[in-house]
Amino acid sequence: MQRQAVNPSDWSVKLGYNQAELIGGMTRQFICSGQTSVDDAGNLRHEGDMRAQIGLALDNLETVVKGAGMTLANVIRLGIYATDVDAALQNFDLLGARFGGHDVAPPMTLLGVTRLALPGMLFEIEATAAD
């Protein structure tokens, strides 16, 4: 798979993501449902703690992606949902560290929502990956 960043200006790169990417040579596409701050039994963890919820959601995303034989380097699109956009943005360094470690900055959308699936859930991240 080849990735070509498309950034008419660099404002998004400074925030850790590309405005778009041109993907070529792809053989498989992986679509992952929203990953949240739940344990292996589906129980919410870190209620009320945005930073901890983002960290566990990213752990869960990475685990699911690995299950397809891929890594976070294969992620080509993120959809992010947060009950508090400002709190999520204050903790986006976690995304930068996780994806930057793979030298990728996938295009993403962050949406503020009134609630997520479980009471106390603050953050959800879905992904599309390819190889």
Tens digits of per-residue pLDDT, 33-78? 999 999 999 999 999 999 999 999 999 999 999 999 999 999 999 9
Confidence label for 14 from pLDDT (cuts 50, 70 and 90) = confident
Between the two ends of the chain, the Cα-to-Cα distance in Å is 5
Residue 81's nearest CA partner among 108, 56, 105 is 108
Mean pLDDT of the chain: 95
Domains and CATH numbers, the chain: 29-130 (3.30.1330.40)
Confidence label for 85 from pLDDT (cuts 50, 70 and 90) = very high
At 45, list the tokens: 């963890």
